[in-house]
Amino acid sequence: MLRFLLLCTAVVASTAEIAEEEDVLVLKKSNFDEALKAHPNILVEFYAPWCGHCKALAPEYAKAAGMLKAEGSAIRLAKVDATEETELAQEYGVRGYPTIKFFKGGEKESPKEYSAGRQADDIVGWLKKRTGPAVATLAGVTEAESLVADSEVAVIGFFKDAESEGAKAYAKAAEAIDDIPFGIASEDSIYSKFEISKDGVVLFKKFDEGRNTFDGELTKENLLAFVKANQLPLVIEFTEQTAPKIFGGDIKSHILMFLPKAAADFQDKMAEFKKAAEGFKGRILFIFIDSDVDDNQRILEFFGLKKEECPAIRLITLEDEMTKYKPESSAITAESITEFCTMFTEGKLKAHLMSQDIPEDWEQTPVKVLVGKNFEEVAFNPTKNVFVEFYAPWCGHCKQLAPIWEKLGEKYKDSADIIVAKMDSTANEIEAVKVHSFPTLKFFPAGDDRKVIDYNGERTLEGFTKFLESGGKEGGAPAAEDEDEDIDGDEVDDSDDGQDEDSDGEDGHDEL
């Protein structure tokens, strides 16, 4: 008995070492394993103190922790300062902030990436779905009404026989969706309350038409398509909270309307935009962006827009390649938007590539200035070896590189066959190179084969010189296919030095 009491005391003392801030556990490498043992189901946020998105999440994260604690739930929320606990951050592949992972059942090897929104209700709902049954059995009208009332979106399957093939397909679909609660009802009173006359599936939501009834063959695939097509509003505003839903969804074609919310004709234009959206449900996501909001200015810049040029419409696809499209007409009417989207779905649109005008003195400086309009003729000149920095004006790493790049340009300014150049990739786009992080350094050797070599060496004058003198071999590697990076809410820069918050800060790149 004495040994048992001593053991209990030791466990309590060990657990007590885990500090809490506003119901959120504060984890370090020294207590991480202990926390997983004490709390088998735990959501962990890896954050940086300077990260604006982490600061915005903090009150909602704490609120969610408090809600679960008040319910007596065993699920806990925790946080790790990834800038201090670098070993933990590296172990779990943290490259951006915030990174949120769910550790279930005390298992630390393969945590689940958090994939829902950043409101307290989103967090709690996602966690309950991950730890409880995929489908809640609704015993009566009160339970069914509560499920609908407590959720922005909820799905109820009406099945008299819970073992039927349709009910089984419904359960499989529910298991595949983390952020929406699913219920199943068989009682006549629930059928009557929701005016259901036969078995089927209904999605309830607090926006647009309020509910959608599934009509088709009851298969997992069909049900997933139904839910995904109806779970978001016809028009969704881009915000810190909605970004994960926008970019984490299966619909990768997005049409964006940039418009000041304070505009006198805001409601009229929104009505036209929404009317057009009805015809492309489940195929194109219609997104509204308030062009007056400071945090949205980077997005406008990405599309080559200025506040005074709004309202404006743009379309982007995030499929195999990130591609932008610009309508020929600036009119914001249901007819013009429908025509634009129809041409896109039929493959009749050409990608819109931004370009600044060619500066008059573009070749008068040691580092030549490239834009979209002169890139091809300079970079792929068969008689020249061209070394190009693709940069962003706000990029902290680019600013650090600038004086070295200028020295390199000065070193080769009189060379007969070497050109050192730079291009602002936030204002210029080219088909030959897809830029996803800054700075990106690429070498275009002389010749007719349009070869491109990535620079992966040291960012020093000596390193660059060796690279050029070796013809792109010292520090170089053949250009690989880039992976597209989503432009989500985490990638908006709000730090003083212009460095992006989703950059890991170690590889010397700022993400686009």
Cα–Cα distance for residue pair 369/30, rounded to 1 Å: 51
- Tell me the pairing of strands 453-455 and 440-444: antiparallel
Residue whose entry in the numeric block shows the structure tokens 């219920």:
183
The identity of residue 210, as a single letter, is G
Using CB atoms within 10 Å of the CB of residue 163, give its burial: 0 to 12 exposed, 13 to 18 middle, 19+ buried. Answer: exposed
Cα–Cα distance for residue pair 443/453, rounded to 1 Å: 5
The answer to whether the beta carbons of residues 173 and 228 sit under 8 Å apart is no
Q: At 471, give phi and psi (nearest 5°).
A: 70, 25
Cα–Cα distance for residue pair 79/91, rounded to 1 Å: 15
Q: What is the dihedral of CA 29, 35, 36, 37, to 10 degrees?
A: 120
Using CB atoms within 10 Å of the CB of residue 313, give its burial: 0 to 12 exposed, 13 to 18 middle, 19+ buried. Answer: buried
The identity of residue 237, as a single letter, is E
Active-site residues, by number, are 51, 54, 395, 398
3-state secondary structure of 386: strand
Q: What's 175's DSSP letter?
A: H
Residue 125's CB: how many other CB atoms inside 10 A? 23
Q: What's 490's DSSP letter?
A: G
For residue 480, give Cα distances in angstroms to 316, 320, 434, 477.
Answer: 23, 14, 11, 8
Cα–Cα distance for residue pair 130/75, rounded to 1 Å: 11
Give, in degrees to the nearest 5, the angle at Cα 146 between 144 and 147: 65
Cα–Cα distance for residue pair 223/203, rounded to 1 Å: 10
- Pick from 503, 78, 58: nearest CA to 240: 58
3-state secondary structure of 420: strand
The identity of residue 117, as a single letter, is G
